[in-house]
Structure 1
Amino acid sequence: MFDTILNSEFRWPVDGDQPFVEAADPMDNTIIAEDDFTRLILMMNGYKQAADLAVAHCAQNRADRDFLVYPIIFNYRQFIELSLKYQIATYGPQVEIKPIWDTHDLEKLWKAFEEMLDRYGTPDPDEADPIVASVVAQFAKIDPRSDAYRYPVDQKGQPLPIAFASTHLDNLADVMNAVSGYFSGCDGYFNDSN
């Protein structure tokens, strides 16, 4: 075992290391959007895509699941939070609902989103609203302040409770794909209503 560690390639910091540089070939650079609205869309979708990629990785590398479950859950939660904030900020003002940027509280965000649905008179023939409300409520319950999957303890050093001893990542990804489809449908509906 020690032979493997000693003989593996090991990167050590060297003088001149800079984490943020531009590549000589512009095609090798990643563009970070300057426009806040564009960044919001890219972040919202990026957090979900990062979680999806990590779940796919875990399906092929089972030993990594216990490490990646934390960023997976955090990224899906962040996707939900940003999706709600995006919808409220983009479509809420047309029905006198103000954007909400000052909280991580999914329950508060969902209530504003639900009020927006009501004010738009959004039909729900498939009764998806209460299903997504339940998913959002579960994320709100297991991680009310968006810190339980980023830190093991709170700001006072007290252990943060963990809601589940285990979870099935493929199922989580599947449910989140459905939630993503729901938010995309709402986006299209609200956009057509304006």
Structure 2
Amino acid sequence: MSEQPTFEHFLESDFRWPRRGDQAFATSPTRGSNAEIALPVSSRAVMMITGYKRAADLMVAQATRDRYDRDALVYPIIFNYRQFIELSLKYLIATYGPQVNIAANWTSHRLDELWKIFSGLLNAYPSGDPEGTDPAVKAIIAEFAKVDPNSFSYRYPVDIKGNPIPIAFGELDVTALSDAMSALSSYFSGCDGYFDSLSANEV
């Protein structure tokens, strides 16, 4: 009969275990090696938008190479892309809304509500949507709003009462999701540039 491993046995293994003096939040003395976090609010918002999408893109790249990673990473992939959408809408509303009497909304996590406000922003500026892109964007955001209404579905397995959170799909093509998010990113960037140019002309 084999001897059962003890906790001391695991401590003596090759795993990296916490050590006295470890710090999660530390700075490196090496010049240029630290990530800059304390940016001005507007810059921080842009970097957060960029960061959540970039993190999801990198996870998709890894997920396409490894089946186990694919099944594990799909949750943070969906969450990060959703956060990218939410922050993009909130940033554009907060940045360009006040000029057309539309207030910022940093409190709601509901994408359907944020899209409704953003649609008002689009309607408040001239020229509209000559290529018919807005309905396609609305459809993508409506998908996210349906499968993850309050930004909880892919962060937790259960709700605050311990009930399982329903999952909309049993399987997902993460590369198709990534492609749609790339298109959405281009759309938001285009809107940012468009609103900015109009603001410069005091629309």
Where on the TM-score scale, by shorter chain, does this alignment land: which range? over 0.9
- Given residue 38 of structure 1, which amino acid in structure 2 is its aligned partner? S
1:85 equivalent in structure 2: 90
Q: CA RMSD in A?
A: 1.6
2:103 equivalent in structure 1: 98
Q: Please say if 1:138 is aligned against 2:143.
A: yes
Q: TM-score, normalised by structure 1?
A: 0.94
- Given residue 94 of structure 2, which amino acid in structure 1 is its aligned partner? A
2:163 equivalent in structure 1: 158
Aligned mates of 2:54, 2:189 — CA distance in 1: 15
Shift of 1:62: 2.5
- Given residue 63 of structure 1, which amino acid in structure 2 is its aligned partner? Y
Select the residue among 65, 83, 99 that pairs with 1:60: 65
Q: Which moved more, 1:162-171 or 1:8-17?
A: 8-17
Select the residue among 6, 26, 36 that pairs with 1:31: 36
The C-alpha deviation readout for 1:76-129, integer Å capped at 9, x for no partner, is 000000000000000000110000011101011000000000011242122110
Aligned mates of 1:104, 1:95 — CA distance in 2: 23
1:185 equivalent in structure 2: 190
Shift of 1:166: 0.4
Structure whose CA Rg is larger: 2
Give 5+ residue unaligned stretches, structure 1: none
Select the residue among 21, 31, 48 that pairs with 2:53: 48
Give 5+ residue unaligned stretches, structure 2: 1-9
Q: TM-score, normalised by structure 2?
A: 0.90
Q: Secondary structure at the match of 1:60?
A: coil
The C-alpha deviation readout for 1:145-187, integer Å capped at 9, x for no partner, is 1011000111111111100000100000000000000001111
Overall identity of the aligned pairs, in %: 55
1:73 equivalent in structure 2: 78
2:123 equivalent in structure 1: 118
- Given residue 66 of structure 1, which amino acid in structure 2 is its aligned partner? D
Name the count of aligned residue pairs: 190
Aligned mates of 1:179, 1:6 — CA distance in 2: 47
| TM superposition outliers: structure 1 runs of 4+ over 2 Å | 5-9
Aligned mates of 1:70, 1:7 — CA distance in 2: 33
Aligned mates of 2:161, 2:41 — CA distance in 1: 33
Aligned mates of 2:139, 2:196 — CA distance in 1: 25
Residue 11 of structure 2 contacts residue 17 of structure 2 at CA under 8 Å; is this kept in 1?
no
More helix by share: 1
